[in-house]
Each structure stands twice: as C-alpha cells, then as structure tokens.
Amino acid sequence: MSRVYIGGKLRPPSITSDHLSRRRLAERFLAAPGARLTVLRAPSGFGKTMLMAECREALAAQGLRTAWLALDNADNDASRFAAGLVQALAELGVEAPEGEGAEGWLALLDRLARHGSAFALFLDDFEFISDDAVLSLVRELIGAFPPGARLVVGSRTPPDLGLGRLRAQGLLQEFDAGDLRFSGPETAEFLTRARGLRLAAEDLARLQDKTEGWPAAVRLASIALERQGEGSDFVARFSGSDGAVAEYLAEDVLAAQPAERVRFLLRTSILRRLDPGLCDALHPPGGSAAILEALAAGNVLLTPDDGAFRYHSLFASFLRAQLARRMPEELPDLHRAAARWYLAQGRPAPAIDHAIEGGDAAFAADLLGRHARGFLEQGRMRLLTRWFDALDPAVFAGRPELQLVRAWALCFTRGPRRRGSCWTRPGSRPTLIPRSPPRRAPRASWC
C-alpha cells in the first residue's frame, strides 16, 4: 500500500508552557468512554488542539493506545487522506493490508473491526475536509470501530459525519465554543500562571466581559498587559468583537517589533510552515533561524512545528492582510520564491500552490506541464482538478498533454460528461483524447 510524506502530522503537539489545564473539560471527556465520536467545534483560538492534546495525554496515562493525525488542505483528497490514515492506524497496531483501492479499504475496515483493544484516534483541523469521498471514508471508519474505540475530531465547522444519527444513538460527545471559552476564574488563573499578572477584581471582570472568555483574546491581552504594566488603563481602552480584538492586539504586538523583523513577519506570512531555509528564500537578509527563535522567545504568536514553526492562525491572517496593504508589489515575487524553494526540495505540490496563489498563471502552467503526469499516475485526481479550476483554461492552449490530463481529472472527479468542457475553444478537441474512458483507466487509491 502506497505511502506519502506527512512529516510531523502524526506527532501530537506538545502542551505549551502557558497552557491552562482544562480539568473540567478533560474530566467530562473521560467520563464518556462509550462515545464513538467526540467533536470539538469552535472558531479559531478557542483551544481545541490543546484540549485534544490534554485529553490524549489523559487517555495515554490510563494505558489506552492513541494516535494523532493533523490535517491540512492537501488531505481533502481521498488517496492522500487514506495514506495518512493508514500510517495513523499503524500507530494503534492496525496494520495496512496489501491491497489497493476498494479491496484494500474493505480489508482495512475488517481488520479494524476485529481489533481487540480499545483506542482513540485524534483528527485535528478537520475543517479542511469537505470532499464527499473523504467524508464517506471517515463515516465508514466510525462504523467499523470496535467496542471501546473512539474518534476525536477538532474542527472550526460542523463535520458532515452523520452527527444526528450518532447523537440519537448516544454515541456522540460534543464540545462547542460555549464549553471551551474561559470562565472568569479560568481567565484569572491564566493571567496569574502564564504571565504573573494580578488584576483588580473590577478590571478582571471588565476584561472577561470584553473578551467573553475567548482564550485567544485573553492570551493576546495578557501579552500586551505584561508589556505595558498598566492594567486599568489598558483594560479601559481594550475593545472590539472577536475579529476586532484579534486585529487590535496583533497590531499592538506587531508595533513592538523592529522594522526589519516586521518585514520578516510580513514576507513569511504567506507560508503555512516556517522552515528557516524557506524563510531565508523569502527574506534576503537571511538569519531566519535566529529571528524565529527570537520571535518564539518573545511570545509573538509562534508555535513549534516539528523542528520548524508556524504562526498562530489569527496572527497569520492579520499579517497577510498587512502584507497586501503595505507591500502588495512583493506578493508575486514572494510566492515565486517559495515555489522555487519547494521545487528544489523535490516537492512540486506546494510549489504549484504558491505559483497559483501568487497569480503567476504561466509559471503554474509550466509547473503543471512538468509534474501533472506524475500526479495523474499517483491517482491525485482531485488535487489536479483543484489546480485546473484555479487557472484560466486559456493558459492550456497549445499544451495538448495538459489538456489530456485535465480531461482525465474532470472525468474522474465530475463524470465523463464534464470532460468536454476542458477544451480552450469550440472545435479544438485534440485527436489524442478518447471519446470514452479506456477500460483500464488510472484509478485514485481508495477513491
């Protein structure tokens, strides 16, 4: 069975030093061992990942086997998701079968159903998953779970996993933003333990009222409070709803950075993962490793990520907006530099993503021309369709091989009737395109 590179996605995140233990929530989680599915659903910044990590540690302390799989946009593809899932299940002692496609998937479900030990599988950032084929795999996975097994999902959006049926059967446990928000005592405990701050009761009540217990806003407020040291004045000026609070405090954090560091933050905000070498490619002065360490030490919303870092999602979105406003002329060059770095690392998929995100259609088409056949042979039909959908069909004019790959991708993701829409102009159908799929067409693994 094929494997794909998934880096540190199988590694549970380390619980940060300033994490406030959510004992009441962890106890509630442990008190529902019969739940086949646990869903933690809340907007960004509500501490879903850290609570999942805390619950995983609690289960592991009880001797239960656990596995973790962090998801991203690339996993919204059945073959890619299945490959990652196989590796996660291997951590639980469920070995992958030798077969491929539907046969391999059914064999895996059979092995899972006959698995003799209880376990917990954690899927983080499930909001990236919307593809029907992937959702179907997860629903079938839940249905095959043996007694004592549970799936734990963290998501910003409601996952389409048959929640109504599971809820009616008493097999669903749910946590939402109302559960995850800090209570007044938890806000006070976080400020004291994480930052050594003790606010007057009136200031604490006002801060709690303004943040509504949103953990990300409380954390951002604590960073600014620690630096300013004037609790009453800061709390009095602190205002805004969720998005405004995040923007206000992120801007306050950004304003405290030296000019060169601000340029680094803005340029690297287009990256999902902050590898020092990749950051150097986008920030010519270099020295990215030292800058990242300094930012992490200064609590500038940086999270360790398997030997590298990533920006907190709220901070990253703010930085990208600032980049588009302050330095829009650099955006194409930054994405092109990121694409070339990924190409040098032998990773064409993120390279093509950056070429598209940078608006360089010709460059993206050139990269697709070099690598599309390889993705086609791997069965990455949905990934190819996503890229083709993002580009104007006119860029494929004079590229018959790309038109052929595009036809196959559309055929396998949307049905053979759609393949006729791929031609760049009426009457330009290349003769090398078959009018019907061959009997032994390429297949996506487990799709």
Digit-coded pLDDT (tens) for 335-347: 999 999 999 999 9
Task: Identify the CATH number of the domain in which residue 284 sits.
Answer: 1.10.10
The Cα–Cα gap between 359 and 353 comes to 10
Final residue belonging to a domain, choices 179, 199, 228: 179
Quick one: 154 and 48 in the same domain? yes
The pLDDT, as a whole number, for residue 297 is 73
The Cα–Cα gap between 423 and 404 comes to 9
The Cα–Cα gap between 46 and 63 comes to 28
Quick one: 189 and 237 in the same domain? yes
Strand partners, 308: 305
The Cα–Cα gap between 12 and 59 comes to 13
Quick one: 114 and 223 in the same domain? no
Report the range of poorest mean pLDDT among 51-55, 174-178, 326-330, 403-407: 403-407
Kindly report the average pLDDT of the chain as a whole number: 85
Final residue belonging to a domain, choices 220, 255, 290: 255
- Contact assessment for residue 381 and residue 413, using Cβ atoms and an 8 Å cutoff: yes
Quick one: 34 and 170 in the same domain? yes
Quick one: 319 and 418 in the same domain? no
What is the count of structural domains for the chain? 4
- Contact assessment for residue 424 and residue 393, using Cβ atoms and an 8 Å cutoff: yes
More confident residue, 2 or 439: 2
- Please give the residue range of the domain that contains residue 239: 184-255
Quick one: 293 and 306 in the same domain? yes
Is the residue at 98 inside a domain? yes
Quick one: 119 and 222 in the same domain? no
Digit-coded pLDDT (tens) for 168-225: 999 999 999 889 999 999 999 999 988 888 889 999 998 888 778 889 888 888 887 8
Is the residue at 219 inside a domain? yes
Final residue belonging to a domain, choices 347, 379, 401: 347
Q: For residue 414, report the phi and psi dihedrals to the nearest 5 degrees.
A: -130, 5
Is the residue at 354 inside a domain? no
Quick one: 264 and 245 in the same domain? no
- pTM for the full model? 0.66
**Torsional class of 273: left (φ above 0), alpha (ψ -120 to 50), beta (otherwise):** beta
The SS3 call for residue 39 is strand
The Cα–Cα gap between 148 and 133 comes to 26
Residues 6+ apart with CB under 8 A from 82: 105, 137, 445, 446
Quick one: 33 and 165 in the same domain? yes
Task: Identify the CATH number of the domain in which residue 108 sits.
Answer: 3.40.50.300
More confident residue, 267 or 393: 267
Quick one: 21 and 160 in the same domain? yes
Quick one: 21 and 142 in the same domain? yes
- Contact assessment for residue 336 and residue 355, using Cβ atoms and an 8 Å cutoff: yes
**Residue with token string 């998937």:** 105
- Contact assessment for residue 65 and residue 146, using Cβ atoms and an 8 Å cutoff: no
Residue type, 422: C
The Cα–Cα gap between 391 and 409 comes to 14
The pLDDT, as a whole number, for residue 5 is 57
pLDDT band at 42 (very low <50, low <70, confident <90, very high): confident
The Cα–Cα gap between 139 and 160 comes to 9
Is the residue at 446 inside a domain? no
Residue type, 58: A
Quick one: 84 and 108 in the same domain? yes
Is the residue at 271 inside a domain? yes
Digit-coded pLDDT (tens) for 108-121: 888 888 887 899 99
Is the residue at 355 inside a domain? no
Is the residue at 27 inside a domain? yes
- What DSSP line would sit under 289-331, residue for residue? HHHHHHHHHTTSSEEEETTEEEE-HHHHHHHHHHHHHH-GGGH
Longest dimension (CA), the chain: 78
Is the residue at 195 inside a domain? yes
